[in-house]
Structure 1
């Protein structure tokens, strides 16, 4: 069930050192990521702990198949996603790709603001390895790893500056990130919006397999 509950698998596994928790409820620090997690079959106490862990006026994002939310939490937004697992043939190192670090975060945040690939915050880079492509010194494309599970690692933040789209940079970065993941013995997987036909076509083209229908549900204490 790890892939159906990836945030919980990460925060009780390889990312446990980052977890803020109350009872069985887990969350990332807000500067790292907005995600909240509960066990596969949450109890009333688990929901109560999640509500207390968020606290008044704070939102959290559940990422898993659709789940009824109790009255203690208000649903702000629901976003349908699809989840894919990579083929064994995906990894391919790329000589133009560079490793991104803390000093690159302002440029990374600017590229994310321009392209909206999903949540990326000031400390998101702590979740894994991020790679980029630069042209004339400018960061024009990037991708990295987010949720680390016992047997899988998520590819995330795949984005290309609008002026450089259509050159295959996203595919190259996905392959390069997959090569990094392969060194850990894990299998790459990723998510995209269920209506993002361009991304879905790309993932199908390079051999990804659809694994789960997911939802991001943004909640806050009622």
Structure 2
């Protein structure tokens, strides 16, 4: 049996985040206003048939897969790119040498969306904030940095939406928020993990300094049924 982190979206959607899933059989989807990801249990024709049956109309499936798998019949490749999957080297809390951030709530959604529009950390929909806990720093009443949780698997939680407004960069705010979320996860008995593009050298360097190491390469595959590809 493969490790849950080798197919993280699948194990999130059939496990701790099943309430955020729709689909059937060998495929699942997040509700798109939460996350744009889908998953198959295995890369088989039967799984891709299930994937297509519940895929929202005129929408590509975005899959996290162990490799750049062969395209199944009846599907069109839209995009494919590798991500580094990183995990901490240790399971001990880090010294809390940072100002305690604010816990962000439903009342902060507009501010979170405004920061995402500027900092562009990746997909962040109208209900992404409901996937997990989010923390942030404010200056003069404006949210200038945040980080949060996205995928939740048995014993694991993904850190995501890590971003800083351009006016506040260079002060280590992202690292402080990461340490906060890492410590909270470890205290709960969960192991944090994350995904980052290998070409994002600044972020990769930060994560190494925080004690993360590369576990493996994960491929993000964007695929669409041929009948929906026009």
Name the TM-score class by shorter chain.
over 0.9
In 1, the alpha carbon distance for the partners of 2:101 and 2:224 equals 39
Tell me, what secondary structure is at the counterpart of 2:180? Answer: helix
- Tell me the TM-score normalized by structure 1: 0.94
- Asked if structure 1 preserves the Cα contact closer than 8 Å seen for 2:93 and 2:186, the reply is no
Give the counterpart of 1:109 among 110, 113, 126: 113
Q: Please name the residue that 1:74 is paired with.
A: 76
Tell me, what secondary structure is at the counterpart of 2:54? Answer: helix
Task: Give the aligned CA root-mean-square deviation in angstroms.
Answer: 1.5
Q: Please name the residue that 2:215 is paired with.
A: 211
Give the counterpart of 2:91 among 88, 91, 104: 88
Q: Please name the residue that 2:181 is paired with.
A: 177
Q: Please name the residue that 2:203 is paired with.
A: 199
Structure 1 residue 135 and structure 2 residue 139: aligned?
A: yes
Runs of 4+ in 1 over 3 A off after TM superposition: 89-96
- C-alpha change, 1:21 and 1:91, in structure 2 (3 Å) is farther
- Tell me the TM-score normalized by structure 2: 0.91
How far off is 1:61 after superposition? 1.1
- C-alpha change, 1:177 and 1:92, in structure 2 (3 Å) is farther
Tell me, what secondary structure is at the counterpart of 1:198? Answer: helix
Count of aligned positions: 221
Q: Please name the residue that 1:63 is paired with.
A: 64
Tell me, what secondary structure is at the counterpart of 2:216? Answer: strand
How far off is 1:104 after superposition? 1.1
Show CA shifts across 1:153-189 (max 9, x none): 0000000001111101010000111122124311000
- Asked if structure 1 preserves the Cα contact closer than 8 Å seen for 2:80 and 2:219, the reply is yes
How far off is 1:207 after superposition? 1.4
How far off is 1:90 after superposition? 5.1
In 2, the alpha carbon distance for the partners of 1:72 and 1:131 equals 43
Structure 1 unmatched ranges of 5 or more:
none
How far off is 1:34 after superposition? 0.4
In 2, the alpha carbon distance for the partners of 1:90 and 1:192 equals 22
- Asked if structure 1 preserves the Cα contact closer than 8 Å seen for 2:93 and 2:187, the reply is no
How far off is 1:92 after superposition? 5.2
In 2, the alpha carbon distance for the partners of 1:51 and 1:104 equals 35
